[in-house]
């Protein structure tokens, strides 16, 4: 089969390798679509999380089961499925309380074990979720990033009728905007430097889009909210957006960190103490994959606009990674193995 082999920063190759073999408690999936995530892009540029010297990337994928192990009881060949890529050790207190996403030994397909940028992948039965016939494979490839967004909203203090501000309109920021709209946000502000992504934000839940290069976004938002929003979300991961996210919330408001910061930042805690502002954070997801599938299959979320291209695995470097790095008209690129 063909697969994208990762050997290090800017060192990836589509190669022909042996198909993976199913084990007793696993299923073999013929991959239909796999999304390129910001984490994949980060690993392509700067190796950070991948633990092996040779790995198949890709953790946002969906497909059809073609073979099941002897001990598999819930699924059969022909089932349409999405894959929750992460799991914890199952033994620590964090896992035992259901928070396996922050287990110290958390693992993921596409980072610690071979992932979905391949024609076939083998995953544990416990990580598989069946798809309803009403949900296309293309949209099902978005279940994983939607789970990230739902987790962040669920962990926050957000409630129906709240005003919110989002800093960054990449795929996660755009999905967050749309999910907050569906959850009942009264006003959604999105700050983003890219004109193309500001336009996408207007199609996906945002009420007001702002250009932080040309506008004092914090002051504009405060002027429109009588002093600040109820909850802000950083989905950009740089010092400027961190500071703005704290500044833009009202007294007793909450700032939710969703992004991963590549570099340390300078921060003065007094800006938080004045106003008793809260800072929270969210990593990945736990026990929410089924809800993401249900919301998508019901049509509750308008997510199609973020899918800007569909490409083949053979062209993933030039038409996928490099294009996302250099062309801001692109947002979520889906990869077909063949």
Give the position of tokens 């996408």. Answer: 200
pLDDT in tens, 111-159: 999 999 999 999 999 999 999 999 999 999 999 999 999 999 999 999 9
What is the reported pLDDT for 51? 78
Q: Are residues 63 and 26 in the same domain?
A: yes
Q: Grade residue 161 by pLDDT with cuts at 50, 70 and 90.
A: very high
| Domain presence at residue 151 | no
The whole-number pLDDT of residue 262 equals 85
Q: Are residues 276 and 292 in the same domain?
A: no
Q: Is there a single domain that holds both residue 48 and residue 33? A: yes
Is residue 152 one of the residues assigned to a domain? Answer: no
Q: Do 212 and 246 reside in the same domain of the chain?
A: yes
From the list 268, 266, 244, 271, the residue with the least C-alpha distance to 257 is 244
In this structure, the answer to whether residues 39 and 106 fall within a common structural domain is: yes
Report the pLDDT averaged over residues 285-301. 96
Residues 54 and 72 in one domain: yes
CATH label of the domain that carries residue 95? 3.90.180.10
Distances (CA, A) of 336 to 30, 311, 331: 11, 6, 16
Is pLDDT above 90 for 338? no
Q: Which residues form the domain of 167?
A: 157-281
67 and 45 co-located in one domain: yes
| CA–CA dist 32, 36 (Å, integer) | 14
Q: How many CB atoms lie within 10 A of CB 1?
A: 17
Indicate if 290 and 271 belong to the same structural domain: no
CATH of the domain at 198: 3.40.50.720
Q: Do 202 and 276 share a domain, yes or no?
A: yes
Mean pLDDT computed over 6-34:
96
Tell me the pTM: 0.96
The model's confidence at residue 53, banded by pLDDT at 50, 70 and 90, is confident
Tally of structural domains, the chain: 2
Judgement on whether residues 116 and 179 belong to the same structural domain of the protein: no
Domain assignment of residue 325, yes or no = yes
81, 75 Cβ separation under 8 angstroms? yes
235 domain residue, yes or no:
yes
| Residue 140 sits in the same domain as residue 190 | no
Instruction: Estimate the share of the chain in helix, then strand, then coil, as percent rounded to the nearest 5.
Output: 30, 30, 40
Helix axes 171-183, 143-155, angle to 10 degrees: 60
């Amino acid at each position: 089969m063909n697969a994208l082999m990762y050997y290090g920063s800017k060192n990836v190759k589509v190669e022909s390798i042996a198909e993976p073999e199913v084990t007793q408690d696993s299923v073999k999936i013929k991959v239909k679509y796999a999304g390129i995530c910001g984490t994949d892009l980060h690993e392509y540029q700067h190796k950070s999380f991948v633990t092996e010297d040779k790995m198949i990337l890709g953790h946002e994928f969906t497909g059809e089961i073609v073979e099941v192990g002897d001990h598999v009881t819930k699924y059969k060949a022909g089932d349409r499925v999405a894959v929750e890529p992460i799991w914890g050790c199952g033994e620590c207190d964090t896992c035992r309380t259901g928070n396996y996403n922050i287990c110290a030994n958390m693992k993921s397909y596409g980072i610690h074990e071979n992932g979905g940028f391949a024609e076939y992948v083998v995953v544990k039965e416990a990580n598989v979720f069946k798809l309803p016939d009403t949900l296309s494979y293309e949209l099902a490839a978005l279940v994983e990033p939607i789970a990230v967004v739902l987790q962040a909203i669920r962990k926050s203090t957000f409630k129906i009728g709240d005003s919110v501000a989002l800093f960054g309109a990449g795929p996660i920021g755009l999905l967050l905007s749309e999910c907050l709209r569906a959850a009942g946000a009264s006003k959604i502000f999105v700050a983003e430097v890219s004109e193309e992504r500001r336009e996408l934000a207007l199609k996906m839940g945002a009420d007001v889009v702002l250009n932080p290069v040309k506008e004092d976004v914090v002051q504009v938002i405060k002027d429109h909210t009588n002093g600040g929003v109820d909850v802000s979300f950083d989905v950009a991961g740089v010092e400027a957006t961190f500071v703005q996210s704290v500044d833009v919330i009202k007294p007793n408001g909450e700032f939710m960190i969703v992004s991963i910061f590549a570099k340390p930042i300078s921060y003065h805690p007094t800006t938080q103490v004045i106003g008793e502002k809260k800072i929270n954070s969210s990593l990945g997801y736990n026990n929410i994959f089924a809800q993401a599938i249900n919301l998508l299959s019901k049509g509750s979320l308008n997510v199609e606009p973020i899918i800007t291209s569909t490409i083949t695995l053979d062209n993933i470097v030039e038409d996928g990674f490099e294009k996302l790095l250099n062309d801001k008209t692109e947002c979520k690129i889906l990869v077909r193995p063949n």
